[in-house]
Amino acid sequence: MSDAAEQPVLFEIVEDHIALVRINRPAARNAVDGAVAQAISNAVREIEANPQIRVAVLGSTNPGMFCAGADLKVVAAGRVHELRPDDGGFAGFVDSIRAKPWIAMVDGPALGGGFELCLACDMIVATPGTRFALPEVKRGIMANAGGTHRVARVLPRNVALEMVASGDPMDATTAKHFGLVNRLVSAEQLLEETLALARSIMVNAPVSVKESLMLARIANDRTDGEMRRISRERMQVVMATEDSKEGPRAFVEKRAPNWKGQ
């Protein structure tokens, strides 16, 4: 489809190193169908393969609307497999292998699978009008795209258990208080503030960011001894890069580093 308005997901690279991936199904409240899932999966692969891209943002083209989760018409038709392409899990995203940092840019309801997309990202920037929820228990099912265990890793135990068991929404201000949301901004400033966060990551050495992020992501799953061992191994990878020499050199020469990403 040549018309961008008809594409289920819009993909663009902004400021050379930031990928912007936005769901574009306003008539369906950005519910994920097979086309959306495949497009997101394709974007993940492109971002991982492109060495020029250092940070990715997942958002929506529509103000006040993030993602309503799975398209129930697809589910009712028995085509759930379409929502999990390329072994990436729901939306081709929640189980995908992603080494680069992802930021969820959220305005409006992020419910069920929409919230699980946020939880699969590394950071969240949200507006005051945003609400997060895993309401599946209200319908006799359960959140099965990583939400139930990922929310328990981010929020304090009892707060997470209440969210999971009640299915009730959490407003963005409360989410910011408990550390689920990194930045709470107005709808008018959402894109710019999200890009500002992306820039704060983008200016750093790409391999250093990737390896440091990998360690932080698995920290809760390993013992301190295991983490020390893995950290030493990954430090060797970082120190073998050209960037590990460029950083100190640029500091001494009082200039901005010219990262090669290798």
Helix (H, G, I), strand (E, B) or coil at 131: strand
Cα–Cα distances in Å, from 41 out to 69, 98, 113, 183, 230?
16, 11, 15, 26, 29
CB atoms within 10 A of CB 80: 13
Catalytic residue among 46, 82, 116, 253: 116
CA neighbor of 85 nearest in space, from 93, 77, 74? 93
131 forms bridges with which residues in the sheet?
Answer: 109, 171
Whether 66 contacts 107, CB under 8 Å: yes
Catalytic residue among 6, 46, 48, 136: 136
Whether 53 contacts 13, CB under 8 Å: yes
Both structure tokens of 99? 């080494």
Residue 75 backbone dihedrals phi, psi, to 5 degrees: -65, -45
State yes or no: is 116 an active-site residue: yes
Active site positions, annotated: 116, 136
